Amino acid sequence: MTDTDLLFTPAVKAAALIRAKKLSPVEYVDAVLTAADKANARLNCFRVLMHEEARRDARAAEEAVTKGKPLGPLHGVPISIKDLVDVKGVPTRHGSAIYADNPPAAADDILVQRLRAAGAIIFAKASTPEFGVKGLTDGPSFGVTRNPWNLERTPGGSSGGGAAAVAAGVGPLSLATDGAGSTRGPASCSGLVGLKATLGAVPYDTTRDAFGNNIYAGPLSRTITDAAVMHDVLKGPTEKDPWTLSGGVQHPLSPKLAGQDLSGVRIGYIELTANPRVAADVRSNTRAALAAWEAMGAGVEEVTETIDWIEYEGRVLYQANFAVFCAQYLPKWQNQMDPVTLAFMERGAKFTLADFRNAQFARTALFRKIQSLFERYDFLVTPTNSRTALDVTHDAANDEVLVDGVKCGITRQGWTSYQYPFNLTGHPALALPSGFGADGLPTSVQIVGRWGHETDVLRLGALLEAARPWAQHRPPSA
């Protein structure tokens, strides 16, 4: 196959070819690194490219194949890691000038350890905005990361570097994180699959608030199967994440999803959350996805009851967190920090303790409301974003999002409002492509499932992927 075809080969297929000795890990990694050098000049998607380390690991992977050693499910597969997650021997810069001169990490994060144990080859650290603060990927310390579908648009954030890379065929997988939609938003913008697992399914050992956590790590991929395999590698308990110790139960596939007859499946469709509008092309493509499931026998109905999506309370939790966490940096670094970080800090500092506690109470109320919906439905389905990718010049702190020409509030209100609620409730949520918008950019649909039912969510996504294939599409700049 050509190098281009190789670059767009799914991870599970590449791993199978490697196991069958039909693909050399060394040649595979060389092709990815060559593509990464070219893509980074155009997309600015990587902070670090690990040429020597990746080639060393590729040689070891090839030797393991030759000697007949046991091989993991991702053996020889190149994967990039978001630059909020430690990779041994490489600086973790957190998208910030504050950590521009950070020393190399002393050890791999637990998730990187699990990926390596599965045979993956870590080849890059992917760009992220400062501390993953926003839904676009840019910053004073590294510039602008661009979307391969249109270089004037964002790949989303905060896992935008990994999303741009995978969409451009530079590695079939990237490890993303999601604190308010930061995996699903980039998946939506970039034509990818992005999974936010159930709270406790995948450890997040480095979160500052382990007990109040709403941050998740997971895969960005071009196919459902690749996402499922990577999730399987990442999941499982650790001693540092209390949610994983007892809360990470993964249920087996529900029998009614085993085949292609979905007659017993009930889907609740939510067209709007805290956002006032959804773009006509996004609505049309979402309804086409629903129609595909209906054609398989699923029952679909619109959820019409009033739901308090706690937009204000979610803002309190989010911005107050940055106000407290980043206060330590202001005396020395204020003039070099992202203006969006500073704006969120300023707003967050104005909230009171009562505001914060009431927001925590509201989080519980939202969880219970979503749980009540799952008494009637097997899945909830929404758009992932209200419109296609924003312009790279969009100011996430102040600019209102235009949806079909109408101002709809800043990003969390008018664009990404479907995502953050499920960070707060902990339910698994999967973003996958639903088609193209009128501007030629990808649109996306989000599937939300019951706690611990990632397998069901992935299965419903796989059935849509089979009915409405997407992975054959490639960005014009790839």
Amino acid identity at 257: L
Query: What is the pLDDT confidence band of residue 374, given thresholds at 50, 70 and 90?
Result: very high
Domains and CATH numbers, the chain: 3-467 (3.90.1300.10)
- Mean pLDDT score of the chain, rounded to an integer? 97
175 pLDDT more than 80: yes
b/e per residue, 42-76, with b = 16+ CB within 10 A? ebbbbbbbbeebbbebbeebbebbeeeeebbbbbb
246 pLDDT more than 90: no
Q: What is the mean pLDDT of residues 164-177?
A: 98
Nearest CA to 274 out of 191, 377, 362, 344 is that of: 362
- Catalytic residue positions? 82, 158, 182
Residue-wise pLDDT tens digits, 36-83 = 999 999 999 999 999 999 999 999 999 999 999 999 999 999 999 999
- State the pLDDT at residue 216: 98
Is the Cβ–Cβ distance between 165 and 171 less than 8 Å? yes
d(Cα 455, Cα 253) in Å, to the nearest integer? 6
**In Å, how far are 172, 216, 280, 310, 415 from 420, measured between CA atoms?**
26, 12, 22, 10, 11
Where is average pLDDT lowest: 7-11, 67-71, 158-162, 247-251?
Answer: 247-251
Query: What is the pLDDT confidence band of residue 248, given thresholds at 50, 70 and 90?
Result: confident
3 pLDDT more than 80: yes
- State the pLDDT at residue 1: 81
Query: What is the pLDDT confidence band of residue 8, given thresholds at 50, 70 and 90?
Result: very high
Percent of the chain with pLDDT strictly greater than 70: 100
Residue-wise pLDDT tens digits, 211-241 = 999 999 999 999 999 999 999 999 999 999 9
- State the pLDDT at residue 163: 99
Q: What is the mean pLDDT of residues 33-38?
A: 98
| Strand 193-196 versus strand 216-221 pairing type | antiparallel
Residue-wise pLDDT tens digits, 315-352 = 999 999 999 999 999 999 999 999 999 999 999 999 99
Q: Sheet of 429-436: strands edge to edge?
A: 46-49, 121-126, 78-82, 173-178, 216-221, 193-196, 429-436, 442-448, 379-383, 266-269, 299-302
- State the pLDDT at residue 166: 98
- State the pLDDT at residue 75: 98
177 pLDDT more than 90: yes
477 pLDDT more than 80: no
Helix (H/G/I), strand (E/B), else coil: 48: strand
SS (H, E, C) 203-250: CCCCCCCCCCCCCEEEEEECCHHHHHHHHHHHCCCCCCCHHHHHCCCC
Q: What is the mean pLDDT of residues 6-12?
A: 98
247 pLDDT more than 90: no
- State the pLDDT at residue 212: 92
pTM for this predicted structure? 0.98
301 pLDDT more than 90: yes
Residue-wise pLDDT tens digits, 108-136 = 999 999 999 999 999 999 999 999 999 99
Residue-wise pLDDT tens digits, 378-417 = 999 999 999 999 999 999 999 999 999 999 999 999 999 9
